[in-house]
Amino acid sequence: GGEAIAIETDVRQRQACQNLINQAVAHYGQLDIMVCNAGVEILKPTNELEEFEWDEVINVDLKGYFNCAQFAAKQMIKQGTAGSIIMNSSICAFVAVPKSSGAYSAAKGGVNQLVKSLAVELASHKIRVNAFAPGYMNNMMEGTEGLRSTSDEMGELYTRIPMKRTGDLKELIGPVVFLASEASSYVTGTIVMVDGGYTAI
């Protein structure tokens, strides 16, 4: 029953991110919520990563978030309205994960610190900045198709997750809606773990 528009955006390009904000404001009148969610991963040992592969992951997973968050914040400040900026972090920002590259972990660690820095800087403008950090989910992000390729690997993975399963995408909806809504009006600079308890061990 909702309404949506789709705007193709390469988050690595600043002008594309500015265009995303401009079109959203032109269509809806103002910007209240920004969810930074683009992501790529390259499953290679860090010492085998090529420079262009490192740059690709960092440019999408960290710089892209900075681009979108910065333009969103500027628009929210211009409007003089409160707002919520939400970023997709990862358990890789907290723990080393088998098969994940150092580039992805570094990017997500950077996202967490970006969240905290922006939360402090933007609090006076009534703009909240938070993140949600998924664990292993049922979907496969681009570049992670070989992450869980055998039943043995899945069995080993489940031994590390207290809830003994991977998450469904729908289980990310509640945390994101919470962070976007007035239900979290006194929450900023926080990373909400959505990982079935993986990082609790």
* Positions marked catalytic: 104
Q: What gap in Å lies between CA 92 and CA 5, rounded to an integer?
A: 31
Report the 3 state secondary structure along the chain.
Answer: CCCCCCCCCCCCCHHHHHHHHHHHHHHHCCCCEEEECCCCCCCCCHHHCCHHHHHHHHHHHHHHHHHHHHHHHHHHHHHCCCEEEEEECCHHHCCCCCCCCHHHHHHHHHHHHHHHHHHHHHHHHCEEEEEEEECCECCCCCCCCCCCCCHHHHHHHHHHCCCCCCECHHHHHHHHHHHHCHHHCCCCCCEEEECCCHHHC
